[in-house]
Structures are given as structure tokens and as C-alpha cells.
Amino acid sequence: MNWTRIVLDGISMSLLFNAVVGVGFLLWPQAYSTMFPKEIRKAAAPYVDNRDVHKIKLLLYPLYLLLFVYWGISARAAGMTGFGTLFWAGYIEMTFVSVSDFVVLDCWLPGKVRHMIKGAENCKAWERWEWLKTLAIPEHALGWTLLVCPIAGLAVAGIGSLMP
């Protein structure tokens, strides 16, 4: 494993991920409420435009694909071979994205953007501990660790294994 490459790729793609998600939030803030805690989703639902939700999906899904392809190519260019090595490189790199998402988008940002989500400005779910226990901790402790990071690892290993 090339640890320097893994760390640098993880950090650089974390920055890209947070920047793209941030720009998407600035463009379609109301649509992002569909990814927030249940109380906020319910309060904001009447103001959500389904076309904006579709635009978010068109922004985020290609972003994940870009991350996987970049990491696979980068790992092979760094001389990493073997399915297991490539899998763990992708898993660790996606863990960097998960940690940055948790710190920036789940710990720091929610209190600063509550005024941008129409209908949900006064929801209790905006409070830091409420946000962490209903969304951020379960999402990052379970969802990312057991689902998203392994998928990233499999994608990177698959892409890297296909390259000569």
C-alpha cells in the first residue's frame, strides 16, 4: 500500500466532495432537506421541488462515480496491485470523505444554514445534539462504515483490477 498516496487522495477528494455538496446546497437548499432528519424533512416537504431533488441526484451520483474512477486510476498509477490492496485503499479513501462530511457538513454547517430551509427554521432537529443523534452518528458510524466505504472499496478494486 502506498500510504502517502492514499492519504493525499483521501484529503483531496474530501475537499472536492465537500465543495461540490456545498455548491449544490447553495443552488438548491430546499431540496437538500430531503436528506435531513425526519422532523426537518416533514416541515420542509411542502416547499421541496422534485425537479431540484432530481438535480441534486444528477450532481451527487456522478461525483461518487468520479471519486471511484479517480481512486482506481490513482492507486494503479501508484503501483498498487491486488484486489485486497485496492479494496482497502478505496475503503480508507472513502473513510476520509466520511470523516470530512461528518465534521464539515454534520457538525459545523447545520446551525449556520437553518434559515435557508423554508418551513423548518424552528425545528428541534437543528440543535447540534439532536442532529448528531438522529442523523450524523448513525449515518457515519453505520451507513458509511458498513455500506458506502465497502462499496467504494469494491468499486476501486474492480476498476483498478481492470487496468493493465
In the chain (164 residues long), the average pLDDT of successive 10-residue segments reads 93 95 92 92 94 95 93 93 95 96 92 88 90 94 95 95 88
Q: What is the pLDDT of residue 93?
A: 96
- Residue environment code for 2-29, b if the CB has 16+ CB neighbours within 10 A, otherwise e: beebbeebbeebbeebbeebeebbeebb
d(Cα 136, Cα 138) in Å, to the nearest integer?
6
Domain span at residue 133 reads: 3-162
Q: What is the pLDDT of residue 69?
A: 93
Q: What is the pLDDT of residue 143?
A: 95
- Domains held by the chain: number: 1
Q: What is the pLDDT of residue 164?
A: 80
d(Cα 34, Cα 29) in Å, to the nearest integer?
10
Q: What is the pLDDT of residue 112?
A: 87
